[in-house]
Structure 1
Amino acid sequence: MKMPKKIELANLPTRIDHLDRFSEELGVDIWIKRDDQTGSEISGNKVRKLEFAVKEAIDSGCDYLITCGGIQSNHARATAAVAARLGMGSRLVLRGTERQVAEGNLFLDKMLGATVRFITPEEYSSSRVEIMQEEADKLSVEGHKAYILPEGASNGIGSFGYINAFNEILEQEERMGIEFDAIVATVGSGGTFSGLLYGNEINGNRKDIIGFNIAGTAEGFREIVMGLLEEIGEMTGAGSKLEPGDIKIIDGYPGLGYALSRKEEIDFIRHFSMTEGIILDPVYTGKAMYGLYSEIKNGNLKNYKNILFIHTGGLFGWTEEARSLI
């Protein structure tokens, strides 16, 4: 299989820990891969994708990175941090308004020197790609060359970050003398999940890759994942034989919607934090772990003995709105 080149940005490999008390509570062995510890400013899963995408940007002669996301986008913050580290410029197209408090990821975006363009939810939904191209065109007039990253860096090249992560997991399994029969991840834009799924397929592994969508619907994300798998397969030259029925995404846990929290979710995150001393975030991992917890409690995942949960970061996403529910 052909793997594109990458640059070294993240602290890898990330450790895998057993969740002792949480496992005892649920009656199944739950492990956690600490991709929240890939770095500080670049913490979380996004930097694994950026290692491949930004390498492509540099090789293409680009000196600016442009991307998009919600007002508290972890990906946008990681992109701004990577750009600053590499001496590049960054422009972020964010769904929100200038009136919003510069806290969490938005605060860090500004600290890292990113130029932010705020757009309405309607503009974001219908024309964010065109708006990012407008920003790239402006930079071109100024003598710069920009590289446009999609939401979450979830495209073919970005997904290689989690093909690489899957290979890392296989190596850790061998060293630890354990085999995971399921890997669980949040599905927010599709790239992390697609990379894990493709890594599982290309290695001929029999693990179940299970996703919990934290926005949208499972059906909608299956379409996105199928498109990403096709793109990845073309890049590797190995293709993919996976079909929509092979994509295990468990619906029912977006709650009130993207970045909106219910008290029951926050209460669960606090319970988990007090049990294991690990902080989940309210946007991604909190909802996904709540989904995993609920599904196990309901007897729907009883065939699994060793489950690995990918902690994709998001600590900076604890805004005042989420904190007020504690």
Structure 2
Amino acid sequence: MSDRVEFGSWPTPVERAPRLAAALGLGAGDLWIKRDDLTGLGGGGNKVRKLEWTVGAALADGADTLVTTGAPQSNHARLTAAAAARTGLGSVLVFPGGPGASHSGNLALDGLFNARVVWAGQVDAAGLDEAAREVCARLRASGARPALIPFGGSSRLGARGYERCGEELRGQVPGLDTVAVALGSGGTMAGLVTSLGPDAVLGVHVGAVAEPDAAVAALTDADPARLRIRTDQVGAGYGTLTDPVRAALKLAARTEGMVLDPTYTGRALAGLAAAVASGDVRPGERTVFLHSGGLPGFFGHPQAPAFAESAADPAG
């Protein structure tokens, strides 16, 4: 019997994107968008599929509080707080650094969902995980029953959500050749690889983890050497807005009226554009771009809103 709790609206739609396809150098009928930004809960996004499984397991274990980690503008943290609100649980979000002057973007929604934020100071990934475990220990000492949801929702259990997504895609786009997806903590790509095979999934590394191939391989039985991963879109780091991403944000908006975020989906589209330019993705192939959401992070990014405000052509 499954412990999955249903949070989303399934299946999410796929939409043809002929103008974007042509701009990328593909045939007008080659490209579809998988709209996992429309998953429903908490503003939507890919983490909803993972949380159906991880929160389901937490509820089955009798948890009354969800604890997770991430960057301050984490989409996963925002959706964990939303899942907690939906199921009547408390939520604690453990972030590196300290509170800044801005509380926009995902941080604003974290507060709206009544999440408690704990700032862990200047810590690396291991230190952040240890800080979350200490939060769980304090909660247990006070009589609470916390469940620690993994970074990015990425575990073998969470990846089952994207196994189901791959099955949806098989029915929606028969004969698909490539699904392009942002690769953050690894669970989204891992689930797709499990259901579609490693040759059909192109992951675009965003800089969230040090070794993206190892992160994906830990969550799937696929041979790491067969994983298709592009690492050329990180630029100066996870939080930076690169020139290829600027171009991708404008391209998606101006060809399809589609809004991407500067950290995940913007990098994923920049990576797909680079893959077409290099011949890794070719005209005539059935290609899907997985839109994994993340719009609130656009408004919390230190550079993206100003870039967007100044992006209009004065002559237009």
Q: Which residue of 1 aligns with 2:312?
A: none
The CA RMSD measured in Å over matched residues stands at: 1.9
Q: 1:119 deviation in Å?
A: 2.2
The answer for the alignment partner of 2:202 in structure 1 is 210
* Matching of residue 193 in structure 1 with residue 189 in structure 2: yes
Q: What is the aligned partner in structure 2 of residue 244 from structure 1?
A: 224
- Which of 221, 229, 239 lines up with 2:212 in the alignment? 221
SS in 2 for 1:41: helix
Report what 1:6 is aligned to: 4
Change over 3 Å in CA distance of 1:264–1:192 after alignment to 2: closer
Number of the residue aligned with 2:22: 24
3-state SS of the aligned residue for 1:110? helix
Task: Provide the rounded CA distance (Å) in 1 between the counterparts of 2:218 and 2:242.
Answer: 32
Q: How far has the Cα of 1:172 moved from its partner? A: 2.0
Q: Look up the equivalent residue of 2:218 and give its one-letter code.
A: G
TM-score, normalised with respect to structure 1: 0.88
Choose which of 279, 303, 310 in structure 2 pairs with 1:321.
303
Secondary structure at the residue paired with 2:232?
Answer: coil
Alpha-carbon distance between aligned partners in 1 of 2:216 and 2:230, rounded to the nearest angstrom: 14
Cα pair distance change 1:84/1:148, threshold 3 Å: same
The two structures have a TM-score, normalised by structure 2, of 0.91
> 1:1-326, aligned counterparts within 5 Å?
4-25=2-23, 26-28=25-27, 29-39=30-40, 41-121=42-122, 123-173=123-173, 178-201=174-197, 208-215=200-207, 220-229=211-220, 240=221, 242-302=222-282, 305-318=285-298, 319=300, 320-326=302-308
**Aligned residues of 1:74 and 1:314 also touching (Cα < 8 A):** yes
Moved over 6 A (4+): none
1:304 CA drift (Å): 5.7
Using the alignment, how far apart are the partners of 2:284 and 2:136 within structure 1? Answer: 47
Report the CA distance between 1:36 and its aligned residue: 0.3
State the alpha-carbon separation in 2 of the partners of residues 262 and 170 from structure 1.
Answer: 33
Conserved 8 A contact 2:82-2:113: yes
Cα drift, residue 262 of structure 1: 2.2
Does the 8 Å CA contact 1:187/1:211 hold for their aligned counterparts?
A: yes
Q: 1:40 Cα shift?
A: 5.1
Distance (whole Å) between structure 1 residues aligned to residue 171 and residue 26 of structure 2: 26
Q: Deviation digits for residues 66-91 of structure 1, max 9, x if unmatched?
A: 00000100000000011011110000
Q: Is the 8 A contact 1:216 1:254 kept in 2?
A: no
CA distance in 2, matches of 1:119, 1:277: 38
Query: Would you say the 8 A contact 2:199–2:228 is kept in 1?
Result: no
Shift of 1:194: 0.4
**Structure 1 residue 97: deviation in Å?**
1.7
Contact 1:182 1:304 in 2 (8 A): no
CA distance in 2, matches of 1:207, 1:45: 21
Quote the Cα distance in structure 1 between the aligned partners of 2:19 and 2:265: 18
DSSP 3-state at the match of 2:288:
strand
For structure 2, the residue ranges without an aligned partner over 5 or more in a row are 309-316
- The AA in structure 2 aligned to 1:292 is L
Q: Distance in 1 between matches of 2:96 and 2:304?
A: 18
Q: Residue 250 of structure 2 aligns to which amino acid in structure 1?
A: R
**Secondary structure in structure 2 of the residue aligned to 1:67:** strand
Q: Using the alignment, how far apart are the partners of 2:225 and 2:100 within structure 1?
A: 44
Contact 1:10 1:42 in 2 (8 A): no
Opposite residue 17 of structure 1, the aligned amino acid is E
What is the alpha-carbon distance in structure 1 between the residues aligned to residue 21 and residue 63 of structure 2?
47
1:42 is displaced (CA, Å) by 4.4
Q: Is the 8 A contact 2:90 2:115 kept in 1?
A: yes
Offset at residue 303 of structure 1 (A) = 6.9
- Secondary structure (helix, strand or coil) at the match of 2:211 reads helix
SS of the residue corresponding to residue 12 of structure 1 reads coil
Aligned to 2:56, the other structure's residue is in SS state helix
Amino acid at match of 1:179: G
Deviates more, 1:85-94 or 1:256-265: 256-265
Contact 1:94 1:119 in 2 (8 A): yes
Q: Report deviation, 1:109.
A: 0.5
Contact 1:30 1:307 (8 Å CA) reproduced: yes
Q: Residues 166-191 of structure 1, C-alpha deviation per residue, up to 9 Å, x if partnerless?
A: 11112223xxxx42111111100000
Q: Residues 312 and 128 from structure 1, CA distance in 2 versus in 1: closer, same or farther, beyond 3 angstroms? A: same
